[in-house]
A and B are shown apart, each in its own frame.
Chain A
Amino acid sequence: MNLLRRVAPPVLLGIFALVAWELTVSLGRIAPFILPAPSAIWHELVAQRQNVWEAALASGLNALVGLAWGTVAGVLAAMAASRFRLLSEVSIPLAAVLNALPIIALAPILNNMFESTSSVPRRLVAGIIVFFPVFINTLRGLREVDPTHRELMTSYAAGGWTFTRLVRLPGALPFVFTGLRQASSLAVIAAVVAEYFGGLQDGLGSRITSAAAFTAYPRAWAFVVGACLLGLFFYLATLLLERIAMPWKTRLIS
């Protein structure tokens, strides 16, 4: 009953929006190249399901690799920056610059740096996008140590790596996941958008552009739906991972 009450409103709203969209297109006689009806998009999605699936796998793998290396780099950089004061003073503005960098400017350049059959440029772009939110959030988490914990560990004569391993890293975990939740959707967006600028043409991004170039708009939309589902999948997977990684929080909810 409680679950129903929580799930029902967004589902009803979604259905209402789809019906309104369908009616607007069919009754308003909107040309399909401007806005295709949901039924037409659904038709294409079913017809192209094999292609959508394969393209989503390719883009998903790129996003995953980018997410993985961006996260590892972000966490390691945050650990280094929290350890050495000078490094953190230098690295925070540097990371801000990196974040301000539009991937649109980066993707074509990276594509030219590697072979046209290489997946590396897209994975690099995704990783760079992921790096920033993970780095900033983790750094904040590592810096916020409960003063009582600090005194306690001093009384145990535990410092250095022991202190980091037992207190700072687990304490920073909620912050890491805050960053990761933002980063997971961003990684998918980056992997898809990077394909608009050349490189290997096997992902969702390139399918969207080529379908649009052939004026097959419902097909283009079908791949957009695929990209949306992929982003959602990444986000939910991160939420699940968060639950698994922090059982002390999960137990409170149940």
Chain B
Amino acid sequence: MTAVSLDKVTKVFNQGRPDEVTALSDINLEIGAGRFVSLIGPSGCGKSTLLRLIADLIPASSGTVEVAGKPATRARLDQEYGIAFQQAGLFEWRTVQRNVELPLELRGASRAERKARATEMLALVGLADFAGHYPAQLSGGMQQRVAIARALAVHPPLLLMDEPFGALDEMTRERLQSELLAICAKTGTSTVFVTHSISEAVFLSDQVVVMSPRPGRITAIIDVDLPARDDAARQSPAYFEAITAVRRALRGTDNASASTDAVAAPSSRTPGSASPAATAP
């Protein structure tokens, strides 16, 4: 069973106009059910666009996008996925609880069912005590957890995330990464996760999809096989090997002058600091 299937997908913005941009070209990707897949690449490589195509927030110019075996539009209407963005995007006039209830409300769930599900989801992200608070009373990390709870509220088989931890500090980010993995393992949700952090992609994913810009395309798909996903894993050789592999794949997508010194570079750096390849000297 595949969660997401993209076949020869292209996306062209402003088609037929002087400012025409090919954002994505010839994308083929299969994401298996229950898998955690990251999309990584420098800015402008179309990773966010790709996520929006899967979410059917924008239409593909050509090719087919299928989610849970259905056309993307059908999947969206059936709420087959939950989505979270870099901005938590909570509705400030609703309490935390009513924010989480919103997707259920739009599905026509009963009041009791909504309340039960929201309570369950808030417990899952560790915010049960904050149900009655308003978003502005929470920290950025807590808001993002509410956004994740909201994305999971309808128990979707697929979770789409667009740099959800991008605006958070390093400590909060690492804690939320572990929490997210635990939630995904518990609920069996497939996840597509957009990031520009190599270490984040490697730590979270079963598979890292490396993309390059102009036009946006997939240049490598790297399988990550860590023994466990805990703090010890962040120190394991397998983790560093995967980081090196992803970094090398990202360098390979750079222009020729940058790739000449890319061969020597990975070993001379501390892998943990994982700077994006786009900033190579």
Contact = CB atoms under 8 A, between A and B. Distances in A.
Interface of A: 146, 148-149, 151-152, 154-158, 162, 166-167, 170-171, 173, 246-248, 251-252
Interface in B125-176: 134-137
Nearest to A156: B106
B134 A149 contact: no
Interface string B180-215: 000000000000000000000000000000000000
Nearest to A173: B93
A151 B84 CA distance: 10
Interface string B64-84: 000000000000110101010
A248 B55 contact: no
Contacts of A155: 55-57, 76, 81, 83
B92 interface: yes
Contact of B57 (A151, A166, A171, A247): A151
Contacts of B89: 146, 148-149, 151-152
A246 B106 contact: no
B79 A246 contact: no
A172 to B, nearest CB: 11
Given A155-B57, A246-B93, A166 B83 contact: no
A80 B85 CA distance: 31
Given A155-B57, A166-B102, A251 B137 contact: yes
A170 B88 CA distance: 18
Main secondary structure of the interface of B (DSSP, over half): loop
Interface of B: 52, 55-57, 76-77, 79, 81, 83, 85, 87-89, 91-94, 102-103, 106, 134-137
Give the one of A158, A170, A246, A248 with max B CB within 10 A.
Answer: A248
Given A148-B87, A152-B89, A248 B136 contact: yes
Given A155-B55, A252-B134, A149 B83 contact: no
Contacts, number: 54
Given A157-B76, A157-B79, A151 B134 contact: no
Given A173-B93, A248-B92, A252-B137, A156 B103 contact: yes
Nearest to A250: B134
Given A155-B76, A157-B79, A162-B106, A248 B134 contact: yes
A247 B94 CA distance: 10
A210 to B, nearest CB: 49
A146 B102 CA distance: 16
16 contacts: A146-B89, A151-B52, A151-B89, A156-B106, A157-B106, A158-B106, A162-B106, A170-B93, A171-B93, A247-B134, A248-B92, A248-B134, A248-B135, A248-B136, A251-B137, A252-B134
B113 to A, nearest CB: 17
A167 B57 CA distance: 18
Nearest to B133: A251
A248 B98 CA distance: 13
Contact of B85 (A148, A166, A167, A247): A148
B158 to A, nearest CB: 11
A151 B85 contact: yes
Contacts of A152: 83, 85, 89
Q: 7 closest Cβ contacts across the A-B interface?
A: A148-B89, A248-B134, A170-B93, A148-B87, A157-B77, A156-B106, A155-B83
B106 A252 contact: no
Contacts of B106: 156-158, 162
